[in-house]
Amino acid sequence: MSESLQIVNNRSGHSTTALLLGSGELGKEVAIELMRLGVTVVACDRYDQAPAMQVAQKKAVINMRDPQSLNDLIVKVNPDFIIPEIEAISTETLLKLEKEGYNVVPSAYAANMTMNREAIRELAAEQLQLPTSPYFFASSIEEIKEQIHTVGYPCVMKPVMSSSGRGQSVLKSDQDIEKSFKAACSDGRGGIDRVIVEGFINFDREITLLTVSAVDGLHFCKPIGHHQVNGDYRESWQPEELSEEVMMEAKRLASSVVTALGGYGIFGVELFICGDKVLFSELSPRPHDTGMVTLISQDLSEFALHVRALLGLPIGEIGFIGPSASAALVFEGEGEVLRYGGLVEALNEGPHTQLRIFGKPELSGERRLGVCLCRENTVDKALECVKRMRENITFEAQSAPPPVQVEESRAEPKALDEEKEPTA
């Protein structure tokens, strides 16, 4: 594929086109990297003016979970590359179209397997025999009560289809089952009333091992440590130091599942570190939110690596620049006019700092709207820096003012060459 890849950018013909299914902050960075290599990007999402739409050449607003809408869009665009960037997609449509010759990256199989916790857990634990936390799946409160003894309390309940911690809760006793199940079914995607219940793991650390499958083999970024609140990332840092033995085991687990899924691209493999043991947790066949730290820590960010890989280009050596950290800017409010302050103060917190304001068009409730980045001499210093940066950022959400009504003038315009009236 790498030898035959040609980027065509011709107004009279069909340019090399990528259809981005999901246009949030991660998709925006992917779009930028694609455009740097001359690829035309069509950014698609469920709402208008999503971040990637603000930089892409073309856009589309559809319900990507609707099979017919998704099918019609793909057939109309006829892209060279279909890039799923979120889980909320009709993956059955992608599987069908892939069989018809459309190019889904990394693969429709990977997108379909990883959007459903049940499918990816069965692949990892039962087919590949990778170590995981104890777990079971259930579709009713009665099923949960019958099986809860297999994992014990405390335990964690998650919808089989969700992301960013939505619908996730900790169960401490039988009294928590009904409330947690209803919350999971309400916040889960796909209209499926089904959950995974996992035994609580007393892990030392939770890491993301970004694994790149490319034409020149598998590549690994340095491990990323991260801190989560209710299943959603708040800070991440790189590198998370691991012993040689643990690192080898982490690479073994990541290699096994990435190879089984197939295709070219970057995979965010989440792992639990328990002493000298490594347990598989989850996987995303796309850039990972905790990997935003690579925007400042590496010469090739996770987004650049993803694009190189999916285009069939070699990765070579991933250059690590230095210890770095990221801190998510999560704000709460209501409005369409979003104002940010304290940017100067934030960027003055260290010699190597960066900010990304994602450009999301509105806020309703709680939402991640930006990220602080810092590179320092040590990870601890980088973490302290991004937290200070975040504290400096002020935020305000307001309702958009009503549109101004402009009355059209009824006066007849004068011709440009009409002579002016003499003045007194």
CATH code where residue 64 lies: 3.40.50.20
What does the pLDDT average to over 343-365? 96
Residues 302 and 372 in one domain: no
- Distance (Å, whole) CA 18 – CA 407: 43
How much is the pTM? 0.88
Residues 212 and 273 in one domain: yes
Longest dimension (CA), the chain: 100
Where does a domain end: 199, 234, 251? 199
- Position 165 scores a pLDDT of 64
Where does a domain end: 321, 340, 374? 321
Q: Prior bond to 154 cis, omega within 30?
A: yes
Decide if 282 is catalytic: yes
Residues 234 and 162 in one domain: no
What band does 163 get if pLDDT is binned at 50, 70 and 90?
low
Q: Prior bond to 51 cis, omega within 30?
A: no
Residues 40 and 139 in one domain: no
Residues 224 and 308 in one domain: yes
Higher per-residue confidence, 32 vs 115: 32
Q: Which domain holds residue 206?
A: 201-321
The torsion of the CA quartet 360, 362, 365, 369, rounded to 10 degrees, works out to: 20
Decide if 48 is catalytic: no
Among residues 85, 198, 270, 376, which one is catalytic? 270
Among residues 169, 290, 294, 326, which one is catalytic? 290
Decide if 165 is catalytic: yes
At 358, is the secondary structure helix, strand, or coil? coil
Residues 311 and 219 in one domain: yes
Note whether residue 51 is domain-resident.
yes
Residues 344 and 234 in one domain: no
Residues 243 and 317 in one domain: yes
Burial 119-142 (b: 16+ CB within 10 A, else e): ebbebbbeeeebebbebbbbeeee
Is there a contact between 81 and 311 (Cβ–Cβ < 8 Å)?
A: yes
Among residues 235, 282, 302, 349, which one is catalytic? 282
Residues 52 and 143 in one domain: no
Decide if 163 is catalytic: yes
Note whether residue 119 is domain-resident.
no
Q: Which of 325, 321, 320, 322 is nearest to 237 (CA)?
A: 325
What does the pLDDT average to over 114-127? 90
Note whether residue 78 is domain-resident.
yes
What does the pLDDT average to over 175-199? 85
Note whether residue 2 is domain-resident.
no
Note whether residue 7 is domain-resident.
no
Note whether residue 414 is domain-resident.
no
- Position 88 scores a pLDDT of 85
Decide if 290 is catalytic: yes
CATH code where residue 396 lies: 3.30.470.20
Note whether residue 263 is domain-resident.
yes
Residues 164 and 78 in one domain: no
Pairing of strands 265-274, 232-238: unpaired
Note whether residue 342 is domain-resident.
yes
pLDDT per residue as tens digits for the range 253-267 = 999 999 999 999 999
Among residues 15, 69, 163, 164, which one is catalytic? 163
Q: Dump the DSSP string for 248-283.
A: HHHHHHHHHHHHHH-SSEEEEEEEEEETTEEEEEEE
pLDDT per residue as tens digits for the range 79-97 = 999 999 988 899 999 999 9
What band does 327 get if pLDDT is binned at 50, 70 and 90?
very high
- Distance (Å, whole) CA 23 – CA 51: 6
At 166, is the secondary structure helix, strand, or coil? coil
What is the number of structural domains in the chain? 4
CATH code where residue 164 lies: 3.30.1490.20
pLDDT per residue as tens digits for the range 8-40 = 666 555 689 999 999 999 999 999 999 999 999
Residues 315 and 341 in one domain: no
Among residues 289, 302, 349, 376, which one is catalytic? 289
Where does a domain end: 321, 341, 373? 321
Residues 93 and 171 in one domain: no
The pair of structure tokens assigned to 240 is: 């998370």
